[in-house]
C-alpha cells in the first residue's frame, strides 16, 4: 500500500558539481542553537549591520541559528553579490519560505550548507529566484551511489506545505545532498495544459521553473507530492544520482519545452502514475517541444496507481515507467532498467480528452498505446535503445518502441 496524504485546500497561496567560492569548511554546531528573529538582508552592507553574521575568510557566515514562526520568510537575502553562507540553520513554521534567496549573483558559492540544517513546517523550505551561481548543499551526498549516505546524515527539508526546494528564473544553481520528505500536497494535476501553478501541482521535492544550466544531484526524495523532481520550461540542466519514492504523480517530470537536459543514474520507485514523464501540453501551447533530452542509466520500477485512485478516476490512461507524451521530440531513452510498472515500462502516447473524467483526460484502466499522430520521422524522432524492460508499447503495424 502506497503512503498517501489527504489533499488539503492550499492555505498559502553551478555548474555541474560546482565548487565553493572561498567558503569555510562545513562544521557541525555544538551545544544548543541560539534563537533569533527573522533575518532580512537587503544588500551587501546589511551583513555587517544585522548582528547575525560573522566574517570568516571573506565570507559572511550566518548560523547556526534557530528561527521559528516567522510571519513571512524565516531568512530573506536579496540583491547580494558578496559571498555568504547560511550554515546549519534551523527554520520552522515560517508562513513564507524557510530560506529565500532573491537576486543573488555569485560564482559557484555554497550559500546554504550543513548536515544539521533543518527546514520544517514552512510554506516552502528553500526558494531561489532571479539568481545565478549558487550551491545549496545539504552535505549528505552518497559517495558510492545514489541519493544520500546510508546514515541519513544530511540536511533535512521536511513537511513543508507547498514543497521542499523551488528554483525559478535562475541559472547555474546546484541543489545537492538533501534529505527531502513529506513536502507538498497532492493537488489536481493539469494533464492537458501542464500549467505549473501550485494549485495544480505542489512543488514536491525540487522544482525548476525557467531554469538553465543547473544541477539536481545526490538528493533523496521520499513521499514528496505531487512530484519528486520537476523541470518546467527548463533546459540544459543535469539531474543525476538522486533517489525518489512515493510521489503522487511522477518521480521526474520534464515539461513545457524543457530541452537538452541530462537525466542519468537516478533510482526511482513507487510513483503512483509515472516513473519518468517527458510531456508537452495538448495543443495549442505557447511552449516549444520538450526535445533532445537524454535519459540514461536510470532504475525505474513499481510505478502504478492504488486501487482507490483507479476507482476514483484519478489515474490517467498513460501510466508507465518512462513515458513520452504528446508532441515531445528527439529524446533519447537508453540503457535504463525498468520493471513492474503498471501500463508499460516504455510508453509513447498522446492524451485523450475526457471532460467527464476528474482530471479531464481519459482514465486508467483504459490504456493509451502509441496513439500519437505519426508526423515527421518515426516516433517523432524519439529513440529507445539498450533498455532492460519487461513491457513496451507495440505501435500500429506491430512496431515496438525498442527493436
Give the residue from 364, 378, 303 showing the smallest Cα distance to 336.
Answer: 303
Mind listing the pLDDT tens digit for each residue in 72-93? 999 999 999 999 999 999 999 9
Q: Which residues contact 309 (CB under 8 A, 6 or more apart)?
A: 272, 315
Going by the DSSP 8-state scheme, the letter that residue 25 receives in this structure is P
C-alpha atoms less than 13 angstroms from C-alpha of 358 in its C-beta half-sphere: 13
Question: Cell numbers of 266, please?
Answer: 537516478
Sign of the CA dihedral running 288, 289, 290, 291: negative
Going by the DSSP 8-state scheme, the letter that residue 49 receives in this structure is H
How far out from the chain centre does Cα 295 lie?
16
> From the DSSP assignment, how many helices (H) and strands (E) are in the chain?
2, 33
Q: How far apart are CA 384 and CA 395, in angstroms?
A: 13
Mind listing the pLDDT tens digit for each residue in 245-286? 999 999 999 999 999 999 999 999 999 999 999 999 988 888
Mind listing the pLDDT tens digit for each residue in 3-36? 433 333 333 323 333 333 333 433 333 346 899 9
Mind listing the pLDDT tens digit for each residue in 110-160? 999 999 999 999 999 999 999 999 999 999 999 999 999 999 999 999 999
* Least confident window among 163-177, 235-249, 276-290, 309-323: 276-290
Report whether 100 contacts 141 (CB < 8 A): no
Global confidence as pTM: 0.92
Give the residue from 264, 182, 173 showing the smallest Cα distance to 225.
Answer: 182
pLDDT mean across residues, the chain: 91
Mind listing the pLDDT tens digit for each residue in 372-397? 655 568 899 999 999 999 999 998 88
Q: Could you tell me what percent of the chain has a pLDDT over 90?
A: 85
The C-alpha angle 47, 52, 58, rounded to 5 degrees, equals 45
Amino acid at each position: 500500500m502506497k503512503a498517501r496524504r489527504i489533499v488539503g485546500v492550499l492555505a498559502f497561496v553551478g555548474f555541474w558539481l560546482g565548487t565553493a567560492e572561498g567558503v569555510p569548511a562545513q562544521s557541525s554546531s555544538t551545544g544548543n542553537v541560539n534563537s533569533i528573529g527573522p533575518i532580512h538582508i537587503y544588500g551587501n552592507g546589511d551583513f555587517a549591520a544585522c548582528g547575525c553574521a560573522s566574517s570568516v575568510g571573506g565570507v559572511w557566515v550566518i548560523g547556526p541559528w534557530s528561527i521559528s514562526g516567522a510571519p513571512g520568510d524565516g531568512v530573506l537575502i536579496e540583491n547580494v553579490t558578496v559571498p555568504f553562507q547560511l550554515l546549519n540553520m534551523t527554520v520552522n513554521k515560517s508562513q513564507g519560505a524557510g530560506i529565500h534567496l532573491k537576486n543573488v549573483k555569485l560564482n559557484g558559492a555554497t550559500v546554504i550548507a550543513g548536515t544539521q540544517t533543518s527546514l520544517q513546517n514552512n510554506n516552502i523550505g528553500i526558494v531561489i529566484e532571479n539568481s545565478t551561481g549558487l550551491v545549496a548543499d545539504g552535505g549528505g551526498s552518497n559517495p558510492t551511489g545514489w541519493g544520500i549516505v546510508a546514515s541519513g546524515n544530511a540536511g533535512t527539508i521536511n513537511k513543508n506545505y507547498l514543497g521542499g526546494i523551488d528554483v525559478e528564473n535562475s541559472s547555474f544553481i546546484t541543489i545537492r545532498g538533501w534529505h527531502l520528505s513529506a513536502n507538498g500536497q497532492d493537488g489536481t494535476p493539469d494533464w492537458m495544459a501542464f500549467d505549473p501553478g501550485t494549485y495544480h501541482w505542489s512543488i514536491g521535492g525540487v522544482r525548476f521553473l525557467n531554469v538553465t544550466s543547473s544541477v539536481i544531484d545526490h538528493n533523496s526524495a521520499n513521499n514528496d507530492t505531487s512530484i519528486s523532481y520537476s523541470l518546467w520550461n527548463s533546459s540544459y540542466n543535469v539531474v543525476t544520482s538522486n533517489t525518489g519514492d512515493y510521489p503522487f504523480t511522477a518521480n521526474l517530470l520534464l515539461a513545457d519545452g524543457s530541452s537538452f537536459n541530462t537525466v542519468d543514474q537516478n533510482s526511482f520507485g513507487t510513483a503512483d502514475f509515472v516513473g519518468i514523464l517527458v510531456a508537452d501540453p495538448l495543443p495549442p501551447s505557447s511552449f516549444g517541444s520538450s526535445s533532445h533530452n537524454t535519459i540514461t542509466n536510470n532504475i525505474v520500477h513499481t510505478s502504478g496507481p492504488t486501487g482507490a485512485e483507479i476507482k476514483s478516476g484519478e489515474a490517467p490512461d498513460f501510466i508507465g515507467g518512462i513515458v513520452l507524451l504528446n508532441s515531445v521530440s528527439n529524446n533519447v531513452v537508453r540503457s535504463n532498467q525498468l520493471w513492474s510498472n503498471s501500463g508499460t515500462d516504455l510508453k509513447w502516447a498522446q492524451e485523450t480528452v475526457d471532460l467527464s473524467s476528474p482530471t479531464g483526460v481519459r482514465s486508467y484502466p483504459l490504456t493509451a498505446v502509441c496513439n500519437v499522430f505519426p508526423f515527421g520521422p518515426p516516433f517523432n524522432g524519439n529513440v529507445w535503445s539498450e533498455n532492460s524492460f519487461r513491457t513496451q508499447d507495440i505501435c500500429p503495424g506491430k512496431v515496438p518502441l525498442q527493436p
